[in-house]
Amino acid sequence: MVVGAGIGGIQASLDLANSGFKVYLVEEEPTIGGRMAQLDKTFPTNDCSMCIISPKLVECGGHPNIENLTYSDLIDLKGEPGNFKASIRRRARSVDESLCTGCGECINQCLVGNRVYLDVKVVEPVLPEDERMAVNEILDKHKKSRSPLIPVLQDINSHFNYLPPPVLKYVAYKLNVSLAHILRVATFYAFFSLEPRGKHIISVCMGTACHVRGGERILEKLEDELGIKYGQTTEDKNFSLDMVRCIGCCALSPVIRVDERVYSRVRYNTVMDVVSKYG
């Protein structure tokens, strides 16, 4: 038995199972994967977490020697090495696991969020007229899309330079999705911001190649000159300073990006010449 189905527990289970042992993998959360499945990148190589863990999740989920006991707690353990007796309590999932395909439809049908069953009177959130018209235009543009949420959020982010919370409430109402779901998406992607941002976004690459070629000093220089730390916006709302992990042109490092434009082989002494072009 392996307790805990994070990356360590999964790897241990796979090693044991591949050696011919029957493995019971016990996890208190409803799914295996643990913290690593929630991360974007891993230290120190900045490799994509999901690229590492996904093949292991698939193997672990379908391995004939592994029985996944998710949403379960180890409540008692007696015995000695070689002869343990464990008591596991499995919590009710309220879905038939043998039929579950992971489609997520049960989330849509959940009574907690279902307005029809709960009979809650939903009132259209009020927005200033110009904002309402701008958002309606964006919603109209994507109304034929099967999953309009991300494109809608992208356009709102470009229009307002961030995602204003009242606008998100309005979008939730219009698209008939929960605000919690919108916030989950909005906070997952670094591209989106829930805080007002500057007219120009300066992103300093801190991927491995840029880091070793002076990315950190360039960031320091920008912080000193603009008088803000990364993640902040200048008082005149002209610049916001961000950090990104690899823009995808490592051979040209160190690089910074101002809005959509990438500047390569930026130097400590000349970085402000680049920035000053943006006023």
Footprint of ligand FES (CB under 6 A): 205, 207-210, 246-250, 253, 255
Whether the link from the prior residue into 44 is cis, omega within 30° of 0, is yes
Task: Answer for the pair 18, 10: CB distance below 8 angstroms, yes or no.
Answer: no
Question: Residue 253 CB, nearest distance to ligand FES (Å)?
Answer: 5
Question: Residue 197 CB, nearest distance to ligand FES (Å)?
Answer: 22
Question: Residue 210 CB, nearest distance to ligand FES (Å)?
Answer: 3
Question: Residue 255 CB, nearest distance to ligand FES (Å)?
Answer: 5
CA dist 141 and 131 (Å) reads 15
CB-nearest residue to ligand FES: 207
> Would you say 185 or 274 has its CB closer to ligand FES?
274
Question: Residue 248 CB, nearest distance to ligand FES (Å)?
Answer: 6
Q: Helix (H, G, I), strand (E, B), or coil: what is residue 39?
A: coil
CA dist 14 and 22 (Å) reads 10
Question: Residue 185 CB, nearest distance to ligand FES (Å)?
Answer: 26
> Would you say 32 or 205 has its CB closer to ligand FES?
205
Task: Answer for the pair 135, 126: CB distance below 8 angstroms, yes or no.
Answer: no
Q: Helix (H, G, I), strand (E, B), or coil: what is residue 86?
A: strand
> Would you say 168 or 256 has its CB closer to ligand FES?
256
> Would you say 60 or 255 has its CB closer to ligand FES?
255
Taking alpha carbons only, the member of 255, 171, 241 closest to residue 211 is 255
> Would you say 33 or 214 has its CB closer to ligand FES?
214
Taking alpha carbons only, the member of 18, 25, 50, 46 closest to residue 37 is 50
Q: Helix (H, G, I), strand (E, B), or coil: what is residue 95?
A: coil
> Would you say 175 or 250 has its CB closer to ligand FES?
250
- Structure tokens that stand for 114 in this block: 């279902």
